[in-house]
Structure 1
Amino acid sequence: MKLKRIGVDWAKQVFQLHGVDSHEQAVCRKQLKRSQMLDFFRRLEPCTVAMEACGSAHYWARELRTLGHEVRLIAPQFVKPYVKSGKNDANDAEAICEAASRPSMRYVEVKSAGQQASQALHRIRSRLIRARTALVNEIRGLLGEFGLVEARHGVAATRRLTQTALDAQNGLPGQMRELLAELSGELDEHDARLSRLDDMIQRQAREDERVGRLLQVEGIGPVTATALVSAVGAARQFSSARQFAAWLGLVPRQHSCGGKERLGAINKRGDSYLRTLLIHGARAVLRHCQDKADRRSQWLRQRVCRRNPNIATVALANKNARIVWAILSRGEGYRPG
C-alpha cells in the first residue's frame, strides 16, 4: 500500500489510523491493537506519520523513525480545529492527518530517551518539593494549635521548631510527641531523597557541555540549565529567540486590532516549570545587581526605576531565554556584554 500521509490517534491498547494517497484521498481507515502497530508500519513503504504530542508519542516516534518513516508531532490544541464532527477515534485520526497537511503547521520536536529521562528527574524532584512543602505546613499548623510557633518560614526554621518542641518541657501530650517524631523522620526522608536527586542533576551538569555553556549566564543554575536542555535539546525547532521566549510564555499578551497595538501582561503559555525557574533565577540576579557596574546590571536597575521590580524580573527572564536560544541553537558560548 502506497500512502502519502497517515494520521494516528493513540490510546493505551487500540490505535486508529487514517491514511491518504498522493491525491489526498482517504485510502486507509484502520484500527490496530498495540501488538500490531510495528508489524503494520514495518510492511508499509516510508511515508509521513502524524500524531498528537501525548505521553507515549515520543516513544512511538523513535520506533517509527527507525523503520524509515518521517514522524511529525502536533500539539493537541492545533488538531482540535480540524475535527469535523463528534469526538471519536476515527474523527481524531482524520483531523490529525488533515492538520499535518497544512504548510504553516508547527510541530513538536521528538525527544530522545535521554531527554525524557532527564525530564522525569525534574518532575519527580518537583513533586517531592511540593510534598515537602505540604509536610512543613502540616507540622507548623499542628504545633500552632499547641501554641508553638516560629516567626521565620522555611524548612530549616520548621526543623528547628520541631526539635525545640520535642526537647523542651512544653506540655505536649505523649501521643503528640510520637506523631511529631514520625513527621520529623518523614521530613528527613524527603530531604535525603531531594539530596540524591540534586546529586544526579549536578552529575548531569558536569557531563553535558551544553549545560556547562548555559551555566555561564547569570540567573541560570544547574537545575534550570538541565531542565532547559532536557526540554528543548538544541532548540533548533524555534526559528528565532523571540519564538522561544513566546513558547515559554514570557512575551506580552496581545489584544491588537485596527492597527493599534495593545500589550498586556505575559501570556504564561508553554511550560510553566521552565518559566518559573527562569523567573526565580532572574529575581536572584535582581537582588544582587545594585553593587555591580556592568551593562547588564545598569540596564536592570534602569528597568526597576522606570517600571517596578516584578516587571524587571520578567524582562530579565525574557532576555535570558533569548540568550539560551542563541547558545543552544548556534553551539556558542556565552559572551557577556
Structure 2
Amino acid sequence: MSALDKVVKPKTRRSKRFLEQRGPKLYENDKSTMLIKGGNASNTVTQALKDLYALKKPSCVLYNRKNMTRPFEDQTSVEFFSKKSDCSLFVFGSHNKKRPNNLIFGRLYDFHVLDMVELGMEKYVSLKDFKNCKCPEGTKPLLIFAGDAFEMNEDYRRLKSLFIDFFRGPTVSGIRLAGLEHMLHFTAVDGKIYMRSYKVLMKKSGCRTPRIELEEMGPSFDFVMRRTHLASDDLYKLSMKRPKAVQAKKKKNISHDTFGTKYGRIHMQKQDLGKLQTRKVKALKKRPAEKKAAEGEGETNKRRKSN
C-alpha cells in the first residue's frame, strides 16, 4: 500500500476540512486539470500548454518541470499526480521524431485513467499571435461541435465527451446574455479536428437583441488523431452512474421536451357532448319551431322502436 492510499485521520480542523473537500459528495466539485510537460517537449508544445492553461484558469495546475513518462505505456505517474493535485483531467505534451508536437488529452475516474486520446498538432497559432482583446479569466465558453464524425465514430464520440468535460467550466445556475463572451468551435472533417476560439462581440442593432459578431482570439489548433485508450463500456457506464439522492423522481403523466417545457396528461371518461351544459344566453336558446321539430323526431323514434 502506498502512502497516498493510507487512511488518514484528521488531527486538526483544517485537515478535517481539507479531507471533507476531497471526499465523495452528492454534487461533485468543478473538475480541475493538470498540464504535464514530457521529457522531450518542443517550444510549440510548451506554448500550447501555456495557452490551454490560460483558457482553463483558475481550475488548472501547470507543471513546468519535465517528466520522463509515457502515459500509454505507464500510467502510474499520471495517477500519482492526479492524487497529489486532486485533478480528474490532464493534458500531457511531448515531442519526438515519430510523433512530433503531441498532446494527450485524458480523464481519470477514481484516480485511475479512464480515457486517453493522442492528438498531433499539424498547425498551431498561439494566443499571443492574435493582437486583440481576450476574454476575462474564468469565462465559461460556448461549445459547438460540427461534423458527422462526432456522432458516427466511437473514437470521435468519446473525444467530443472528453472536450466537453475539459472545457465546460464551472456549473452555473443562470446565464446572462452579457456573460456569453467566449466560444470554442470544433470541426471534424477529412480525418482532422479543427479547434477555433472566438470572442463574441455584441454590437448595437437598433433593437433589444444585439447584433453578434465573432472575432478569432486564439489559440487555433489543427489536430489529427493518432492513438486512443478508451475505457470498456461497463467501466464507462459505471463512471457515469449518479447517486439515487440526486436523481429526479419520475412523476406520472408529466413529461418535458428538449426546451424544458412541461406537459401534463389528463385521463377522463368519455363524455356525451349533447348533454353538456352551456351558458344560458338568448342566442343559444332554441326557437319554438326547433323545439317542435325536436319533439316530433323524438316521437318518431319511439314509434320505430315499438314497431
- Given the two structures, how large is their TM-score scaled by the length of structure 1? 0.22
Q: Looking at both structures, which has the greater relative contact order when contacts are Cα pairs under 8 Å and sequence separation is at least 6?
A: 2
> Larger strand proportion, structure 1 or 2?
2
- Given the two structures, how large is their TM-score scaled by the length of structure 2? 0.23
Larger of the two Rg values belongs to structure: 2
